Amino acid sequence: MTQSVALIDYGAGNLQSVRNALKAAGALDIRVTADPDVVRAADRIVLPGVGAFAHCRQALWGIDGMIAALEDATGAGGKPFLGICVGMQLMAEAGEEHGRHEGLGWVPGTVRLLEPTDPAIKIPHMGWNDVVPLVPHPLIDAGEAYFLHSFAFEGEGVLASTRHGAEVTAAIGIGNRVGVQFHPEKSQRYGLALLERFLAWAP
């Protein structure tokens, strides 16, 4: 039986690239959607995100019924969920970009501005960097991925890190909900392998 993947369209994600990457990873039924009912019915859920935390939050919360659908579908023992970049950051309790804004609260922690002590370290953190697993997890392998961000998660549930002047969160997760700060759709073989594992994941 073909499993469906809901790719959430809230006007704040690189949808076509993520869709193409999911397809290349083997997904046969990808539903790009802003419909909470489609999200509830899907077998797996992907939340992309580019831009500022506050803008993405406003856009996602602005879809009537979407937050409830996400909670219902991915609550304890629910369907596999993958957040990408700001989609990962929205899993946190709050983000501090353009003021403090409440997140989904799925993972205890806050998204804060990267502030390296070395002036030679540039912000945003952009380009290829190592992903270093901190705990064993079926989705997260060591490798190199493509990052583009100025804010990073600080808190619990950190699955992997990278270094950009200091240690920076690369992936978070609790239960069936996982998020990655990097872009799998831009990370070539490493990213496609991660998406393949997500499509096969049975948490």
Residues 6+ away with beta carbon under 8 Å from 60: 8, 10, 12, 47, 66, 67, 90
**Looking at per-residue confidence, does 35 or 76 come out higher?**
35
Distance of alpha carbon 168 from the chain centroid: 15
Q: What angle do CA 68, 152, 188 make, to 5 degrees?
A: 90
Structure tokens at 93: 């309790």
**pTM for this prediction:** 0.97
Confidence of residue 117 (pLDDT cuts 50, 70, 90): confident
pLDDT on residue 118 = 82
Distance of alpha carbon 151 from the chain centroid: 13
Tell me the pLDDT tens digit for each residue of 132-191.
Answer: 999 999 999 999 999 999 999 999 999 999 999 889 999 999 999 999 999 999 999 999
Beta pairing, strands 107-113 & 92-95: parallel
pLDDT on residue 39 = 97
Residue 129 lies in domain: 4-200
In sequence order, the β-bridge partners of residue 155 are 109
Distance of alpha carbon 110 from the chain centroid: 15
Contact call for residues 90 and 188 (beta carbons, < 8 A): no
Residues 6+ away with beta carbon under 8 Å from 97: 52, 53, 54, 111, 113, 150, 151
Tell me the pLDDT tens digit for each residue of 15-52.
Answer: 999 999 999 999 999 999 999 999 999 999 999 999 99
Overall domain count for the chain: 1
Catalytic residues: 85, 183, 185
CATH of the domain at 196: 3.40.50.880
Contact call for residues 90 and 12 (beta carbons, < 8 A): no
